[in-house]
């Protein structure tokens, strides 16, 4: 979330993302963009029919949504419109409704720019044990787009089709082991900087330096007892590779 303008407070968006990741942020943005035009339309119709209570209800609801999404100018406008409607100042309400419509367009433009950055990051999980694949998927699938491979050869083939943003790679694999898969990834010019996290049986974990020397970016020990360890390692590596 690099840009921030007067129309959208990106700190608020970042907080929504912190709570529920990209899927939640996407859903909330989509809901806002779907519902706000209906509320604005209802406010216009209320004014046209001289029903300022209807205007007040609509802008009150829109104001709450503007707060959730972090749209300060829209929020202020709704507050002013609410007050003017309550005071029955129809001319001023009519005038300000035009500004409200424009302000929503500005917010919409900013949010759509954010949405472009919101596609889920892709993670490839290479692990021969279905139990572990299921566990890793359960931890990650709300936040990332997951592809699963059961062995090294399958992973190498899949990597020719789509390059993920990060790979979680089991070391002990039938046939081609994790180290061999890693060395093939590193030999490929397009993937030499691809973050690869070793997934290793606890018994194999001894020397963090060893995994880093082998060319892994990090490692996570199996069994995964604390999902936050895996999530934070992934987040760190993705942030560094941006």
Site of interaction with Mn ion (CB under 5 A) = 128, 170, 172
**Cβ closest to Mn ion, residue 82 vs residue 170:** 170
Q: Judged by CB, which is closer to Mn ion: 128, or 214? A: 128
Residue 150 CB, shortest distance to Mn ion, in Å, is 10
Q: Which is nearer to Mn ion, 164 or 178 (CB)?
A: 178
Q: Quick check: 152 and 182 in contact, CB under 8 A?
A: no
CA dihedral 15, 16, 20, 21 (to 10 degrees): -80
The DSSP line for 43-70 is HHHHHHTT-HHHHHHHHHHHHHHHHHHT
**Residue 128 CB, nearest approach to Mn ion (Å):** 4
CB of 236 to Mn ion, least distance (A): 24
Q: CB nearest Mn ion: which residue?
A: 172
DSSP H helix total and E strand total for the chain: 9, 5
Residue 166, strand partner residues: 123
| Minimum distance of Mn ion from residue 108's CB (angstroms) | 48
Whether the Cβ atoms of residue 58 and residue 97 lie closer than 8 Å to each other: no
Nearer to Mn ion, 47 or 127 (CB): 127
């Amino acid at each position: 979330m690099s840009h921030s303008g007067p129309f959208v407070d990106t700190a608020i968006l970042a907080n929504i993302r912190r709570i529920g990741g990209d899927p939640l942020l996407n859903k909330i943005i989509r809901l806002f963009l779907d519902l706000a035009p209906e509320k604005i339309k209802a406010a216009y119709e209320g004014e046209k029919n001289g029903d300022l209570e209807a205007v007040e209800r609509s802008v009150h609801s829109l104001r709450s949504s503007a707060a959730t999404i972090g749209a300060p100018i829209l929020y202020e406008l709704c507050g002013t419109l609410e007050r003017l409607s309550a005071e029955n100042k129809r001319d001023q309400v009519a005038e300000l409704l035009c500004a409200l419509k424009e302000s929503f367009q500005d917010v919409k433009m900013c949010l759509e720019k954010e949405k472009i950055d919101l596609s889920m990051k892709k993670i490839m999980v290479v692990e021969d044990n279905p139990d572990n694949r299921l566990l890793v998927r359960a931890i990650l699938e709300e936040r990332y787009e997951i592809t699963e491979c059961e062995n090294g050869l399958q992973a190498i083939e899949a990597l020719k089709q789509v390059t993920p943003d990060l790979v979680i790679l089991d070391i002990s694999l039938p046939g081609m082991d994790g180290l061999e898969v890693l060395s093939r990834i590193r030999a490929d010019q397009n993937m030499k900087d691809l973050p690869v996290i070793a997934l290793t049986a606890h018994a194999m974990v001894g020397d963090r330096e060893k995994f880093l020397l082998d060319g892994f970016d990090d490692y996570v020990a199996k069994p995964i007892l604390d999902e936050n360890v895996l999530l934070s390692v992934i987040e760190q590596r993705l942030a560094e590779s941006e």
